[in-house]
Amino acid sequence: MHIINRRILRGVAAGLLLALPLVLIAHEYDPENAEEINEVCAGCHDEYGQGGKQGKYPRIAGLPQGYLKRQLLLFQDRERPNMPMVEHVEKRELPLSDIEDISIWLSRIQLKTKLPPVDETAPGFDAYARLQEAKKLMQVPRSEGDTKHGEKLYHRECRSCHGAKGMGNARKEVPMLAGQYTQYLWRQVKRFLKGERIHDPDEPDDELLKDFTHDELRDIFAWLSVQDD
């Protein structure tokens, strides 16, 4: 009796130990929960995460899941400043499971830059569907600068991490720069230079952007801003 009990117990214990990492790692995605959370975010970042007010609110749609999660945790821990979002990212408001859900949700939104042409007089034209599609559009306004010079600099200095066309790198959790508002990007450059944000989490002491003049960054941003034209 004793031996069997102990054996069973040992089996149960081993099973628990095996299952523990799974419980810790696996997060069951709950899209309905994500949709509900997004209603809060949409108050500033718009319904499909397009952002707005010329970049006062950045685009958050289509950013890498891991990047989104990291930023939300940084906001929560007050390691990245963001006054407007403070109350929305407190642990009580946004526990880890919510951060996981909303990060997956937002990372899967694909924004178009143009609507395909359609014949609105054709039979079967669905005006409502077209309107919904139009809501998912986002075009970054062109910013001033020498795009040729910007392209050269970008390819030499930024491409290795931010991708060939500035669309970021999901696997490496690097955000897009193309398709993001230029004014928002400038604000982040200032945050990096002031040490309020860390540019490269793998090399926190690296001050990459310090080596660039204002005009060089202006040209890089000008080239990025026409990538979605």
Residues 79 to 108 in contact with ligand HEC, rule: CB under 6 A: 82, 84-85, 88, 94, 102
CA atoms of 124 and 113, how far apart (whole Å): 24
Helix then strand then coil, in percent of the chain rounded to 5, is 55, 5, 45
User: Cβ 157 to ligand HEC, closest distance in Å?
Assistant: 4
Residue numbers 12-51 binding ligand HEC by CB under 6 A: 37, 40-41, 43-45
By the rule CB under 6 A, 220 interacts with ligand HEC: yes
CB 226 within 8 A of CB 150: no
Residue 224 C-beta: closest distance to ligand HEC, Å: 8
Between 12 and 96, CB nearer to ligand HEC: 96
Query: Which one-letter amino acid corresponds to residue 209?
Result: L
Nearest of 66, 31, 60, 29 to residue 43 by alpha carbon:
60
Contact 150, 222 (CB under 8 A): yes
- At residue 108, the 3 state secondary structure works out as coil
> Considering only residues 34, 111, 138, 174, which one is a binding residue for ligand HEC as defined by CB under 6 A?
174
Residue 130 or 142: the one with the smaller Cβ distance to ligand HEC is 142
Nearer to ligand HEC, 109 or 133 (CB): 109
Interaction of residue 111 with ligand HEC, rule CB under 6 A: no
Based on CB atoms, which residue is closest to ligand HEC, 133 or 212? 212
Rounded to whole angstroms, the Cα distance separating 193 from 218 reads 15
From residue 67, alpha-carbon distances to 3, 12, 40, 63, 96 in Å are 51, 37, 20, 7, 14
Which parts of this chain interact with ligand HEC (CB under 6 A)?
Answer: 37, 40-41, 43-45, 57-58, 60, 63, 67-68, 70-72, 82, 84-85, 88, 94, 102, 157-158, 160-162, 174-175, 177, 180, 185, 187-189, 197, 199-201, 208, 212, 220
